[in-house]
Structure 1
Amino acid sequence: MARGEHHRIHAHDRVQRNRLRVAQEAARLMSEHGIRDFHRAKLKAAERLGILDTQALPRNHEIEQALREHQRLFHAESQPQLLRQRREAAVEAMRFLRAFEPRLVGAVLDGTADAHSAVCLHVFSDDAEAVALFLREHGVPCETQTRRLRITRDTQADYPVLLFAAEAIPFDLTVLPRDAMRQAPLDRIDEKPMRRGHLATVQALLDAHENADFERQLAAALR
């Protein structure tokens, strides 16, 4: 093998190792410090590791994969319970907000939710104030922010976000116009339309979780 080819392969391997190291550290920061922004997590991870090569920055889906592995290795007992609690809370909230046709998004839907995760919902109303008014009328104080979402690769827009907590679980409601039900914003991980779950979808996830728990308990009892 020519010396130049050897150096090229060695450099490629080093970049791949560093990508994995950054992804694992970013996953740790997200899991243990509650960082929820993938870009921020990987920049902070690279800084901590002293890795300056931008080619060694992993893509978001690599960090998500590392996050799932981190949870499997270090939080195998607690994370599934925290996830189930948030899915149960999501079902209650979606029933409560049914007039605004809520959809579950984010970590609670995809299964990576932990103690730092909010229940993130998209709710739909052409009158953005209507959702906040509904919450206030039912005694739910909330904080209002804005969030910029990518509608297409070339289009972004700002939407109101309502933040509140119920039984120590944080909720994050993005208020979108009703025609946004037809096309979801782009996901921050893969830039494809964001996955959104109806109430029936979330209930089915809960049922599957409970069935899996029952099967594990039965298997343990039969040992």
Structure 2
Amino acid sequence: RLICDHGISDFRTAKDKAAWMLGLNEHGALPSNREIEDAVAERNRIFGAATHPQLLGRIREAAVSVMQDLIVFRPRLVGSVLSGNVTEHSNINVHVFADSCEAVSMRLDAIGVHYQLRQRRHSIRRGHTEEFTGYDFMSDDFIVETTVFPERRKGHAPLSPVDGRPMQRAHLRDVELLAAG
């Protein structure tokens, strides 16, 4: 419920808050990230049948627009917008590739996007995380979180926080097909 209704997007934060609210030990038997993701999907099926398809269409159309604006950086959509498991609080997550973060900054400046610079940690392999620069901004009333990876990482997706396997990533043409329904 914290993820769906309150917009908490980090599994660890949602688990910690739920444990605290229930008076449980944080290290007790908490659900796995996969179980949480499945519960969000089930909640969408049960309670969002009338509104979920429209929300998913709108957020995917916004993702297409962002990816078109950043096409020179070979954008890849990741996360809930790709999987279709969105809530009204979901962010659009896009990976872009450039050896210079300044090139991404310059592109965002050129198209008039007001952004906030962020540092994001991604698991590159089990037990090993790296920090990457990211840019957060608004597009069509949705928060967009971009992460800039070096060119050499194009073929190496970071590990998914849901299942620990390489993240699913989609090219613009694939997202256009998803947005078209």
Q: TM-score, normalised by structure 1?
A: 0.77
1:92 aligns with 2:65: yes
1:76 corresponding residue in structure 2? 49
Matches within 5 A, 1:24-173: 28-52=1-25, 54-173=27-146
More strand by share: 2
Question: Would the aligned equivalents of 2:121 and 2:132 in 1 still touch at CA under 8 Å?
Answer: yes
Q: Deviations over 1:117-176 (max 9, x none)?
A: 111100000011110111101211111010011111132111111011122121111011
Is the 8 Å Cα contact of residues 16 and 26 (structure 2) preserved in structure 1? no
The size of the alignment, in residue pairs, is 181
Is the 2:114–2:137 Cα contact (8 Å) retained in structure 1? yes
Closer, same or farther in 2 for the Cα pair 1:131/1:138, shift >3 Å?
Answer: same
Deviates more, 1:100-109 or 1:67-76: 67-76
Question: How many Å apart are 1:55 and its aligned residue?
Answer: 4.6
Bigger mean CA deviation after superposition, 186-195 or 67-76: 67-76
SS of structure 2 residue aligned to 1:64: helix
Q: 1:178 aligns with which of 132, 151, 155?
A: 151
Mark the runs of 5 or more structure 1 residues left unpaired by the alignment.
Answer: 1-27, 210-223
Computing the radius of gyration over CA atoms, which structure comes out larger, 1 or 2? 1
For residues 69 and 125 of structure 1, the distance between their equivalents in structure 2, rounded to whole angstroms, comes to 37
Structure 1 residue 79 displacement after superposition: 2.2
TM-score (norm 2): 0.94
Change (3 A) 1:53 1:101: closer
SS at match of 2:173: helix
Pick 1 or 2: higher relative contact order, CA cutoff 8 A, min separation 6.
2
Percent identity of equivalent pairs: 43
**Structure 1 ranges of 4+ moved more than 6 A:** none
> Within 2, Cα distance between the matches of 1:162 and 1:152?
23
1:195 aligns with 2:168: yes
